[in-house]
């Protein structure tokens, strides 16, 4: 079976390269993936995969049944892109101004398309069913939550769920993961400081929101080190600060926004409460008012230890020991695959994009085609071997 799978993947690669390059040309933002979803449906239309009606708009979900009834497995790829201008000089460069696949979702989609095409030819090699989930809106919108809640994983529910994310800094094609925390909760906040504007020469009769905000920035970013456990990885980071239009005018307000990251679910309510206590105290001391909004779109991504062990053994079996890497630390990045893992056992896997790859969200990032063979082989083998297990 190992040689059969590898041969089938090798035969599919030229087609998958073409698919990935075409996807790279048509990046679309969260919830707007109309061309992308149509392209995915068109690609799968000539297979035996049963394509379901959209659950939330631009999603594509399909089910491929094996020889007879059995277990079920779900594979997920995110399909949206980022609002940034591409700087790569490629024959297949983005054709959508101000949009690019800077996070590699074109590669994730190509992996799942390649897996679907190969498994369609190996349909007589497994029992049970595999569900292919092409999910919109992973970036910022976290539509994975909406898709799961809409029932995209039901009838039948999966016994396991898996997903890939391309990862710069790892050797090309190496598959890496870890049990337990894999990626962080990603929360976002927005803060408006309401002061009293005035002339730049008379700060004593104004309430300077910049001064207030500066104190808040310092206090918030010191919070993890001084008010939370030193043993817990936590980030509280102010990422934007907007105030004023002229060098001699004290503005009436300042607007801050940022993100918090953590793995311990005990902090879900604790961190925003602590932040607001700090904000309220500083604003009160200066006589300012504030509006504070805090959103929690992403859960921590927690891998099932048994599924990671399964992935480890499978990678070595099909691709060799050098193709697997145990991750020492989780990532502070967020992922809405967390909503899949919150309901079903499974694992998020990283696939190496090369030691010298540009980082994710860089305007010159380009998913590494040389990682596709290992990725698709892993996914196909995962389906074949997992569905062999007794119910």
Residue 244: CATH number of its domain: 3.30.70.360
Our CA angle for 68, 73, 74, nearest 5°, is 130
162 and 198, same domain (yes or no):
no
163 and 245, same domain (yes or no):
no
- What's the N-to-C CA distance of the chain in angstroms? 21
Our CA angle for 305, 378, 4, nearest 5°, is 135
Alpha-carbon distance of 337 to 57, in angstroms, equals 18
DSSP 3-state assignment of 246? Answer: coil
Could you say which of 258, 280, 298 is where a domain stops? 298
Q: Quick one: pLDDT band at residue 390, thresholds 50, 70, 90? A: confident
Give the tens place of pLDDT for each residue, 211-253.
999 999 999 998 987 777 777 889 999 999 999 999 999 999 9
Residue 11: CATH number of its domain: 3.40.630.10
Give the tens place of pLDDT for each residue, 255-303.
999 999 999 888 888 999 999 999 999 999 999 999 999 999 999 999 9
138 and 27, same domain (yes or no):
yes
Decide: 56 and 143 in contact? Cβ < 8 Å: yes
Which stretches of 195-331 are assigned E, i.e. beta strand? 198-199, 235-243, 249-250, 253-262, 289-298, 301-303, 324-326
Closest CA to 81 of 161, 141, 131, 38: 141
144 and 237, same domain (yes or no):
no
DSSP 3-state assignment of 94? Answer: coil
- Residues linked to residue 237 through DSSP beta bridges, in sequence order: 259
**What sign does the CA torsion over 301, 306, 312, 315 have?**
negative
Residue 304 half-sphere exposure toward CB, CA atoms < 13 A? 18
Assigned token pair, 231: 């043993």
117 and 198, same domain (yes or no):
no
How many domains does the chain contain in total? 2
Give the rounded distance of the alpha carbon of 135 from its chain centre: 11
Alpha-carbon distance of 286 to 86, in angstroms, equals 44
200 and 264, same domain (yes or no):
yes
The reported pTM is: 0.92
Structural domain harbouring 234? 185-298
What angle, 0 to 180 degrees and rounded to 10, lies between the N-to-C axes of helices 2-25 and 105-121? Answer: 140
Give the tens place of pLDDT for each residue, 202-212.
999 999 999 99
Could you say which of 271, 298, 325 is where a domain stops? 298
216 and 331, same domain (yes or no):
no
Could you say which of 245, 270, 298 is where a domain stops? 298
265 and 312, same domain (yes or no):
no
The total of other beta-carbon atoms located within 10 Å of residue 384's CB is 22
321 and 380, same domain (yes or no):
yes
User: Which contacts of 153-157 are long-range, i.e. CB under 8 A and separated by 24 or more positions?
Assistant: 153/74, 153/340, 153/343, 153/344, 156/72, 156/129, 157/72, 157/344
310 and 285, same domain (yes or no):
no
211 and 65, same domain (yes or no):
no
259 and 151, same domain (yes or no):
no
């Amino acid at each position: 079976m190992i040689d059969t799978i590898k041969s089938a993947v090798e035969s599919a690669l030229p087609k998958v390269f073409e698919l990935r390059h075409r996807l790279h040309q048509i990046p679309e933002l969260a919830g707007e993936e109309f061309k992308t979803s149509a392209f995915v449906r068109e690609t799968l239309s000539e297979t035996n995969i049963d394509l379901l009606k959209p659950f939330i708009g631009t999603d594509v979900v399909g089910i491929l049944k094996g020889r007879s009834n059995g277990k079920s497995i779900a594979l997920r790829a995110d399909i949206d892109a980022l609002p940034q201008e591409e700087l790569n000089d490629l024959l297949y460069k983005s054709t959508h101004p101000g949009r690019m696949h800077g996070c590699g979702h074109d590669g994730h989609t190509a992996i799942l398309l390649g897996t679907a095409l190969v498994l369609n030819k190996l349909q007589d090699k497994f029992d049970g069913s595999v569900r292919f989930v092409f999910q919109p809106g992973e970036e910022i919108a976290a539509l994975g939550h909406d898709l799961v809640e809409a029932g995209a994983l039901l009838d039948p529910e999966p016994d396991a769920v898996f997903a890939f994310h391309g990862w710069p800094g790892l050797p090309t094609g190496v598959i890496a993961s870890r049990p337990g925390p894999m990626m962080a909760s990603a929360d976002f906040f927005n803060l408006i400081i309401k002061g009293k504007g005035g002339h730049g020469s008379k700060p004593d009769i104004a309430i300077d929101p910049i001064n207030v905000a500066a104190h808040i920035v310092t206090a918030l970013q010191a919070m993890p080190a001084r008010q939370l456990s030193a043993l817990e990885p936590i980030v509280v980071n102010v990422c934007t600060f907007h105030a004023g239009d002229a060098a001699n005018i004290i503005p009436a307000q300042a607007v801050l926004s940022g993100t918090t990251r953590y793995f311990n679910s005990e902090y879900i309510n604790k961190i925003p409460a602590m932040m607001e206590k700090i904000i309220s105290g500083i604003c009160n001391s200066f006589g300012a008012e504030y509006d504070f909004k805090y959103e929690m779109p992403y859960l921590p991504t927690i891998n099932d230890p048994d599924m990671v062990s399964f992935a480890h053994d499978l990678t070595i079996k099909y691709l060799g020991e050098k193709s697997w890497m145990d991750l020492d630390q989780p990532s502070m990045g967020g992922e809405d695959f967390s909503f899949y893992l919150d309901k079903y056992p499974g694992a998020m896997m990283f696939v190496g994009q090369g030691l010298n790859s540009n980082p994710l969200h860089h305007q010159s990032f380009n998913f590494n085609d040389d990682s596709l063979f290992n990725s698709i082989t892993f996914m196909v083998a995962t389906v074949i071997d997992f569905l062999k297990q007794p119910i």
